[in-house]
Structure 1
């Protein structure tokens, strides 16, 4: 169920945006659709997800209809400020979106299409657990306009999957990839490294297994121990070891080596694509500061400098919408300093980089030292852009602190 929501300002019952909000018609607009259901809760997961036993009054078979009510609310709220923009990207995340019948996902996508329009060349992604992908489901999704499937592989090694509480069979990853390919979908594989007692050899085996499946895109994330998770409690009790920072660094470098050798290029610290066409356009929009509306319990949205987040539990979310109320729990409009910090944090993570001109005077003065330390690409810096070296990707937080320091 994840951690607590952040504090923020109250949101009007009807969800109206703050007075004076001006929406730029040229700013990209994306849609995120959160499906908060999982068969089991993975011990490391801090996402806003719920097993059947945790739903307490919410029903999966009513979820699509509930989310469509929020889409109708979004049309009213956004239509008050400017003509509605066509969605350039749509992303079904979770949770496990493919736990719902494909027809429910199709109805949600049709709801987005009817409300906003979906661009002819839109990227439409569905996250999937390998055990839930069939030929029929993949074909139905593709026919509805889905273009891409992001499959939660995590590892190919059984003891690593067990440490992560993943229940899928390793061989089902290949089955899911083949089904997606037969339907004409692009394929991304998600991996996690640094699980308890995972060796560098285990990680190499997972990377090689992923590459053998010839995906278009790979995401590789270091395991992070989140407060309140079962993994955090296991570590606190001494049942499993903390992730080893040095080992995780070695694993990242191995991933970058093998993916690069296989023809992939990094475009964000944890993401590699076979070519520019297969980069995740939806996630790039987040890192570039575009606008998006996040539908579903606990989903976050960002429109014209204001961000808000929905109530977390599916039952509370459904109750608010049934009563004609916005499901937003709170919102905030960051000031110029906060927006500048966020810009550095996000743009410095992507390969296209952060313009040096957008840094403060102190930030610009820090660039030379970062280049000398091998954290920032010197050639790119001379051309006016901050681009992380591989060492800089490993120490991205330190780079951000240097670029945003006051002195």
Structure 2
């Protein structure tokens, strides 16, 4: 029987950006790359139809399998990109209306949109609040103009703080700022300057991600040519500890390795991802996870709209997840959370590896759970790999033993 989670989210991908940042490998397109046939109006028309077809598909699944929950009101909504604010408050209002008219919204739904600070204003935030949004995530990245230039970001250093204050003034209780650390040429003082700005903005959530130089990006080409230094793992660790110490000294606490919040400010939508929840992803390239099925849409906006025009969902590929896949994903994501995971979900082989990491001070037991320590956060990915590898090795060994026993009978 399929395993379904109780919390349900809707993610909408807005694929538009005014410029392409040198480090970004997301599914985004500038106006020059798209031309006039795949702009925001065409996208919004197609998105509304996809939402209708999604509900129809889930309703049909329910009719064929009574254990399937069918379509559910969204507990969380997250509009990401790309740059969602480029479609304006009217466009974002239309997106939310489409979700409300199809899936519906839970009474206490968390409704978030990402925004580029440069494409926002007090009027923009007022209109979003009026349409029903209650959480804003702003791309700050850095308060250093030199770092922003390396990242090819177009906003001015002070604009994210001003935008956060405007969102607060419009009635948004929950406001997030995204940071990137470890950018080539960045200094400790640049990070301190960014943290000063974050704290001055009076937000209740901060996401801080180490820069990943992705293959195929403009930044990767600059690093390969020697125009920029390659990122350094030791620098990443030092910057992370600097960020963590400063945020925790000012009322924030980490709840996921790269995310800090004041009490009550945690992102419920992202928590749904991290606890192996269900969500429908709409828009070009959006990924979905429903029960034992994971699938994603075609990436290019023109192809996305064209496929919807034929009356078909724009799904490009579907994968059926076994219980072992659910376990792997639960461990990969859940051990990044401060709360960790229940100890009883792990095999004997995993517990031997867990005990080894406890002896090293990288894991600890918190009631019935196993969780990373403060030191362990810096090595979380490696710890998770060690545990999963131990489980896989033990499983392979058991299978080999069983096969050998069969051959001798």
Tell me the residue number matched to 1:149. 136
Structure 1: stretches of 5+ with no match in the other structure: 1-20
- Cα distance in 1, alignment partners of residues 215 and 349 from structure 2: 34
Q: What's the C-alpha RMSD, in Å, of the aligned pairs?
A: 1.3
Match of 1:126, SS state, is: strand
- Cα distance in 1, alignment partners of residues 374 and 32 from structure 2: 44
- Cα distance in 1, alignment partners of residues 362 and 256 from structure 2: 15
Tell me the residue number matched to 1:315. 302
1:225 to partner: Cα distance: 1.0
1:401 aligns with 2:376: no
1:23 to partner: Cα distance: 7.3
Tell me the residue number matched to 2:229. 241
After superposition, give the CA deviation of every residue in 1:291-335 in whole Å (9 maximum; x if it has no partner). Answer: 100000000000011000101100000000011111011110122
- Cα distance in 1, alignment partners of residues 184 and 195 from structure 2: 17
1:67 aligns with 2:51: no
Contact map agreement 2:279 2:288 (CA 8 A) in 1: yes
Structure 2: stretches of 5+ with no match in the other structure: 63-69, 395-409
Q: Which protein has the larger Cα radius of gyration, Structure 1 or Structure 2?
A: 2
Match of 1:278, SS state, is: coil
1:47 aligns with 2:26: yes
1:261-276 → structure 2 map (5 Å cutoff): 261-275=249-263
Tell me the residue number matched to 1:6. none
Once the two structures are overlaid, the 10-residue window that deviates more, 266-275 or 359-368, is 359-368
2:156 maps to which of 157, 169, 185:
169
Match of 1:123, SS state, is: strand
1:18-29 → structure 2 map (5 Å cutoff): 24=4, 27-29=6-8
Contact map agreement 1:64 1:105 (CA 8 A) in 2: no
After superposition, give the CA deviation of every residue in 1:229-288 in whole Å (9 maximum; x if it has no partner). Answer: 11111111111011111011000001110000001010000000011x210000000000
- Cα distance in 2, alignment partners of residues 374 and 235 from structure 1: 35
Contact map agreement 1:94 1:127 (CA 8 A) in 2: yes
1:232 aligns with 2:220: yes
After superposition, give the CA deviation of every residue in 1:96-115 in whole Å (9 maximum; x if it has no partner). Answer: 00000211111110111111
Contact map agreement 1:200 1:247 (CA 8 A) in 2: no
Tell me the residue number matched to 2:401. none
1:54 to partner: Cα distance: 1.1
1:38 aligns with 2:17: yes
- Cα distance in 1, alignment partners of residues 370 and 211 from structure 2: 26
- Cα distance in 2, alignment partners of residues 359 and 231 from structure 1: 40
1:384 to partner: Cα distance: 2.7
Count of aligned pairs between the two proteins: 382
1:22 to partner: Cα distance: 5.1
1:81 to partner: Cα distance: 2.4
- Cα distance in 2, alignment partners of residues 208 and 153 from structure 1: 13
1:232-311 → structure 2 map (5 Å cutoff): 232-275=220-263, 277-311=264-298
- Cα distance in 2, alignment partners of residues 358 and 54 from structure 1: 47
1:223 maps to which of 211, 234, 243:
211
Match of 1:37, SS state, is: coil
1:77 aligns with 2:61: no
Tell me the residue number matched to 2:318. 331
TM-score, with length taken from structure 2: 0.91
- Cα distance in 2, alignment partners of residues 373 and 151 from structure 1: 37
1:66 to partner: Cα distance: 1.2
2:77 maps to which of 67, 73, 90:
90
1:116 to partner: Cα distance: 1.5
Contact map agreement 1:133 1:179 (CA 8 A) in 2: no
1:402 to partner: Cα distance: 2.0
Contact map agreement 1:269 1:349 (CA 8 A) in 2: yes
Tell me the residue number matched to 1:160. 147
- Cα distance in 1, alignment partners of residues 304 and 377 from structure 2: 38
Contact map agreement 2:251 2:262 (CA 8 A) in 1: yes
Tell me the residue number matched to 2:179. 191
Tell me the residue number matched to 1:18. none
Contact map agreement 2:2 2:292 (CA 8 A) in 1: no
TM-score, with length taken from structure 1: 0.92
1:84 to partner: Cα distance: 2.3
- Cα distance in 1, alignment partners of residues 30 and 204 from structure 2: 31
Contact map agreement 2:84 2:115 (CA 8 A) in 1: yes
Contact map agreement 2:176 2:205 (CA 8 A) in 1: yes
Contact map agreement 1:32 1:92 (CA 8 A) in 2: yes
Tell me the residue number matched to 1:7. none
Match of 1:101, SS state, is: helix
1:43 to partner: Cα distance: 0.7
